[in-house]
Chains A and B, each alone.
Chain A
Amino acid sequence: MNMLAFLKKSKYVLGLNARNLNYLRPSNSLRAIRIADNKLLTKKILRKASLPVLQNYGLIRQIKELKEFDWSTLPSTFTLKPNCGLGGQGILVVYGRKKKFPYPWIKADGRPVNIKDLENHILNILEGTFSLTSLPDIAFFEERIKLLKLFKPYVYRGIPDIRIIIYNSVPVMAQLRLPTKESSGRANLHQGGIGVGIDLGTGITTTAIHRGRLIEYVPGARLLLKGLQIPEWKEILKLAIQAQIVSRLNFLGVDIAIDREKGLIISELNARPGLSIQIANLSPLADRLLRVKGLKIKNPLKGAKISQDLFGGEVEETLEEVSGKKVIGINEPIEIPDRQSGKYPTMAKIDTGAYRTTISTNLARQLGLNEAMRYKKVRGALGLEERPIIEFSFILDKKLVSTEAFIADRSQLKYDIIVGRKDLKQFLVDPSKNIFMSQRVLEKVKEKRGIK
């Protein structure tokens, strides 16, 4: 019975056979595919349609041109690419240039690159070593994209890009591709890059995969992958549709990168987009493609709107789910478990201006928590003083928080406890929430937070 459901559900997933037979072949003409496989030609037609692409610094078609190439025209940072490269192969990125003779450029791993090395690499490109068909190829120098600050913690060198699969002028699925150390700065998933699903409605990341497996954090870092808001989301969708219309490929993967200064840039068109985007989004494609089939899309704006409406998830309603953090207000009911496994309910003030949580001397004594673990000097409004620190836990919005809190005399103050930002890492604070609490509202909040 379960097996039957599994088989039935599998019909919604797009496999390679169906992609090739039902979508690539009928939708894409050979001529258009040839353009997409050729980076220079792609850039030419996109530029002609005044869509943003990266600037070329020079190209080398033959060995003769290599010999005559004027190396002084190259800036200190650029990328060197084969025209018909496959899966990010053969791309060389230099990040800067040494000021000492012989003025070598610097690679991602800090190693120097001399003109001799560049010549060698270009010769290999011309030979067709990295090309899709192993036929002789063209090498070209391209401007290097400058990494957006937002993405900096998430990537290991290289530039992340946003892959959008478009069918019939409607974006049907999107993912953020992050380069890792393993993928040596390339964003391609089968090289070891991370794929992060994006909600089409809002541009907020959802689930992520690495090497075909679901992950939550950036490998080797405590950095949550979901809940990241991609900037200019609607513009990205519109740009992708414009690129698709220009390319004349009806089923297409558009790669868009974001430059710190220039903004959105179309980095590549892909006539055979990979299918693991379905795993990154935990969502099947076949069903979405069928829903888009046969629609008449008048303009990119319309296409983006349809995409957002059809395939946008319930992300807006579940901000908490996406960010993995609870949204709390300024005044919150909390419970403090005491030694006798009972719970002491009280009201706490959420204070992001304070670093540490502070509990009143009276309450600490009442709960038997007044054994100071250590003391710490603080510079407060009253000048330098030494305050005792105690360890205890409290439950805020159903989450258990372990804290090291100050004890202070709060007998003149309204709240027995204020919660500082050190203990608020699992929460988002909405300052417009729970400011004044009538008894009725308080009851409601308590009920919601599971406190009797």
Chain B
Amino acid sequence: MSVITQYMVNQGVPQETVILILMLPIVATIIAFGRQVIGIRGFGIYTPLIITFAFLATGLKYGLAIFIVILLVGTLMRFLVRYIRLLYLPRMAIVLTAVALAILAIFLEGAYSGRKGLIASSIFAVLIMITLVEKFVVVQIERGAREAIILTIETLFLSIICYWVAASVWLRNLVFIYPFWIIFGAVIINILLGKWTGLRLFEYWRFREVIKRVDLPEKK
């Protein structure tokens, strides 16, 4: 089964690339499971997915630090910019600029104190995280600060879980050796998840007062 992956690596495709591509269905399945069965909403499937891969590229420590700085600066800027009334896109461009500056400052600090892991981290991972600021700001506008915080925490939680799964050596070996079984398994699980009509785990809590008051029909 590993013939194809082996061949690709022999021909010069980086092993990391193959593994990450094969990790994608697994991470996506975890996110789908989190939504349908547990009830973690997060920001759809794209955001947690991309954060997971950004974390994989930068490492969890720096990834989280960058992520939190982006969120804080983005939110702060949103409130500052709100007072000068601007149209949406220019306003967002200003927020993005501020976030970019903050990231630059982080790298400056990394260079100053010689944090190799930070300054060597993939620029694309960091760029992707910066662009996510739009997503967070939009949620803040649409659903209010409280909901945005909850959704952000859920997204972060999901991404960290996915990071741990995708970073596990055992699983990395597994996808490399049995790529098709992994993909096949992911599809099957997702079909089952897509047909799942039971209550989500969080809904048992949300509707607990209703459930308690249900009168079961008496058996005769």
Contacts and interface: CB of A to CB of B under 8 A. Distances in A.
B212 interface: yes
Interface residues on B, range: 20 to 34
Interface stretch (A11-19, A154-162, A235-243, A396-404): A11-19
A221 B200 CA distance: 35
A18 B198 contact: yes
B214 A9 contact: yes
B143 A190 contact: yes
Interface string B15-39: 0000000000000000000001001
Interface stretch (A120-128, A224-232, A345-353): A120-128
A183 to B, nearest CB: 9
Contacts of A12: 211, 214
A127 B88 contact: yes
Contact of B141 (A10, A89, A190, A287): A89
B142 A86 contact: yes
A89 B209 contact: no
B199 interface: yes
Contact of B216 (A9, A86, A124, A279): A9
A15 B188 CA distance: 23
Contacts of B138: 134
Contacts of A10: 199, 204, 207, 211, 214
A15 B201 CA distance: 10
Interface string A191-219: 10000000000000000000010100000
Give the interface SS of chain B, mostly helix, strand, loop or mixed.
Answer: helix
Nearest to B195: A21
A10 B212 CA distance: 8
Contact of B203 (A15, A128, A130, A282): A15
Contact of B211 (A6, A16, A21, A120): A6
Contacts of A190: 143-144, 147
Interface in B141-172: 141-144, 147
A29 interface: no
Contacts of A279: 206-207, 209-210
B87 interface: yes
Complex A-B, nearest 7 residue pairs according to Cβ-Cβ distance, in ascending order: A9-B214, A15-B199, A18-B197, A15-B203, A129-B88, A13-B207, A12-B214
